[in-house]
Amino acid sequence: MHLSMLKKQGLIDAWHDRRIKAGDEVDHSIDSNLNAAGVILLLVSPDFLASSYCYDVEMQRAMERHQAGEARAIPVILRHSDWHSAPFGKLLATPTDGKPIKAWSDIDEAFLDVVKQIRAALPAKLVANSKASKASPARTSPPLSDAKSRSSNLRLKKMFTEADRDRFLHASFDFMANFFEASLVEMAERNEGIEGNFRRIDADRFTAAVYRYGKAIARCKISVGGAFGRGILFSVQRSGRRRDYEREPLS
């Protein structure tokens, strides 16, 4: 999805092994596309490093083509892993500074950073051809006098069902959980003496705590629903003896 603009502009034609059709020879399909690719993304995670096929076959061939100047291999660090000592460890990784996408508080921002670096790494001639293609005359619109009059506001009010509201509620809660977890990791990495603790209790509850040199300085609990009805309930411990509650209603 994040590569969609590069595809629409004709700069890339993405391929991955999920595009192999039933009846195709797997090894031959992977080899032929790997040998034809101009840009090869190495999606790095502990699973990638542990996979014999990904590491010993696909990655090794990608590095051979990269070193020969036939293609550009770009490591994309998805999760924390011991990748710096790998053959591609000497390459400039994405996102910026090789910070794993999992560790970003905003995952879309992380992927946007990756896309920008992929765009910058594409051959200049390819980008120039794409711009020239965009500049060519497109289909002209009919003269204003020939156009039929109509309202400029044709949007109808969208009606949301109970199912829509529940899906939105739980999607929002999951986003908040991921945001808290990644933010605690980032806070600990940036500040000396700071530790974070994220704990997912179940599908509808999680807790988060921040410690400075081992002493708790902030705690909170976030849950869906509860005694206050539908919505997301946020409780923060401001002192050792009481809690304050705030609720974001589901409008």
The two structure tokens encoding residue 104: 């970003």
Residue where the block lists tokens 């391929």: 15
Q: What is the pLDDT of residue 174?
A: 87
Residue type, 113: D
The average confidence (pLDDT) of the chain is: 80
Q: What is the pLDDT of residue 26?
A: 74
Helix (H, G, I), strand (E, B) or coil at 113: helix
Measured distance CA(8)–CA(27) in Å, rounded: 29
Question: How does residue 245 score in pLDDT terms, banded at 50, 70 and 90?
Answer: very low
Residue where the block lists tokens 């990756």: 114
Q: What is the pLDDT of residue 131?
A: 52
Q: What is the pLDDT of residue 239?
A: 44
Query: CB burial class (10 A; 0-12, 13-18, 19+) of residue 13?
Result: exposed
Q: Specify whether the CB–CB gap between 225 and 245 falls below 8 A.
A: no
Q: Specify whether the CB–CB gap between 93 and 77 falls below 8 A.
A: yes
Window from 105-109, 129-133, 146-150, 226-230 with minimum mean pLDDT: 129-133
* Bridge partners, 208 (sequence order): 198, 220
Measured distance CA(56)–CA(59) in Å, rounded: 6
pLDDT digits (tens, 9 = 90+) for 47-69: 999 998 889 889 999 999 999 99
pLDDT digits (tens, 9 = 90+) for 85-109: 999 999 999 999 899 999 999 999 9
pTM: 0.49
Q: Specify whether the CB–CB gap between 42 and 74 falls below 8 A.
A: yes
Q: Does 70 have pLDDT greater than 70? A: yes
pLDDT digits (tens, 9 = 90+) for 188-203: 988 999 999 999 999 8
Q: What is the pLDDT of residue 158?
A: 66
